[in-house]
Amino acid sequence: MKKLLSIFILTSLATSVFGQTWAPTGAKWYYNHYSGAQPYLTVVESIGDTIINTKLCKILKAFEINDAMDSTGAHHWDTLYCPLEYTYQDLGIVYLFDSEINNFIKLYDFNAIIGDTITVKDSAFTGYCPETLPFNLFQYVIDSNIDTTISGITLHKQFISPTQNSDWFFSDPSGFFGNLPIIERIGSLKYLFGVGVAVMEGPISCLRCYQDSILFYKDSNWPDSIPCDYLPQLPTNINDFKIINGINIFPNPATDQITIENKSNLHLEYSIINSNGQLYMTGIITSHLTSIPVDDLCAGIYNIVFRTDSATSTKHFIIEK
């Protein structure tokens, strides 16, 4: 009897530990977006507990913050709140509640071995906010399993690939940011709930930071000097509206050259910046049409920032190879 009681206590403790390590209340994920893509920042936060279908699970609140502009050209931050999500972990498997079937689906499996196929959704579904378009298959294969240490804690890291017909995924090895892994206790470094191929691999580029009471992760490309919830300063001058509506970039996507059409009648300085914030080129636009060679740029999304003496405006273009 004592032996059975001991086994029960150990099993209960193990279950409790698993429950505490996934999405503990107060945990936050900060997801960066491709430069020039809206919204600018997505945040997921674990805000409490609830019971669904007898399962004690965590409540996740997700919201998007984007730069909105009204008809006068004035800018402000706007917030879109997504529907609440519900999740729990049991013995290394993370489940997400699917309201369409009124049951939980397997999101991550940290017990999976190389070659295993994880099917999250195999029928028509609506992509989780912020990608609310319809999709048909969410399925991926485990490519490798390794260990990593974060905040002194050893965690499993999985590199994965979407299956051939999957149109929703955690990471696409052929995408702009390459193959981003899944990490135990954190989830996908692309986006917690995945993204859809219909929107340029989704506007979310990668996880900036994850933090809870004992664990902190920061992407190596995110500067230590910039807080995880950073938002850039918004344009405040009305001339910015004139710049935005007076500039065209073509072709877009481009391969070796872009042309700037300047209909604003303003003398403009420009800077080309990659998605990691690195400066590539600066110059001046004084004519109606200006051609800029970009043949030595890698494939990806780039910002081009236009400035006058009193205003700044940003557009983006894509390089395809």
- Is the pLDDT confidence value at 19 over 70? no
- What share of the chain has pLDDT > 70, as a percent? 81
- What is the pLDDT confidence band of residue 84, given thresholds at 50, 70 and 90? very high
- Is the pLDDT confidence value at 73 over 70? no
pLDDT at position 30:
96
Fold of domain 239-319: Immunoglobulin-like (2.60.40)
188-247 per-position pLDDT tens digit: 999 999 987 654 445 788 899 999 999 999 998 888 888 999 887 776 655 556 666 678
Most trustworthy range by pLDDT among 129-133, 139-143, 287-291, 311-315 = 139-143
pLDDT at position 242:
62
Of the candidates 288, 306, 164, the one whose C-alpha atom is nearest the C-alpha of residue 244 is 306
- What is the pLDDT confidence band of residue 276, given thresholds at 50, 70 and 90? low
- Is the pLDDT confidence value at 277 over 80? no
Asked whether the CA dihedral 118, 124, 125, 126 is positive or negative, the reply is positive
Q: Which residue has the higher pLDDT, 62 or 311?
A: 62
304 Cβ neighbours under 8 A, 6+ residues apart: 249, 260, 270, 271, 272, 273, 314, 315, 316, 317
Most trustworthy range by pLDDT among 72-76, 82-86, 276-280 = 82-86
Q: Which of 29-33, 92-96, 107-111, 145-149 has the lowest average pLDDT?
A: 29-33
Q: Which residue has the higher pLDDT, 16 or 193?
A: 193
- Region 90-112 average pLDDT: 95
Would you state the structure tokens that stand for residue 38, as one six-digit string?
């809206």
- Alpha-carbon gap, residue 25 to 194, rounded angstroms: 21
Angle, alpha carbons 181-208-216 (nearest 5°): 85
pLDDT at position 199:
47
- Is the pLDDT confidence value at 2 over 50? no
pLDDT at position 231:
86
Task: Count Cβ atoms below 10 Å from residue 174 Cβ, excluding itself.
Answer: 9
CA separation (Å) from 72 to 234, 241, 243, 267, 268? 14, 7, 13, 22, 21
pLDDT at position 160:
94
The gap from C-alpha 19 to its chain's centroid, in whole angstroms, comes to: 25
27-65 per-position pLDDT tens digit: 999 998 876 555 588 999 999 999 999 999 999 999 988
- What is the pLDDT confidence band of residue 67, given thresholds at 50, 70 and 90? confident
Q: Kindly list the domain boundaries of the chain, sorted by start residue.
A: 20-218, 239-319
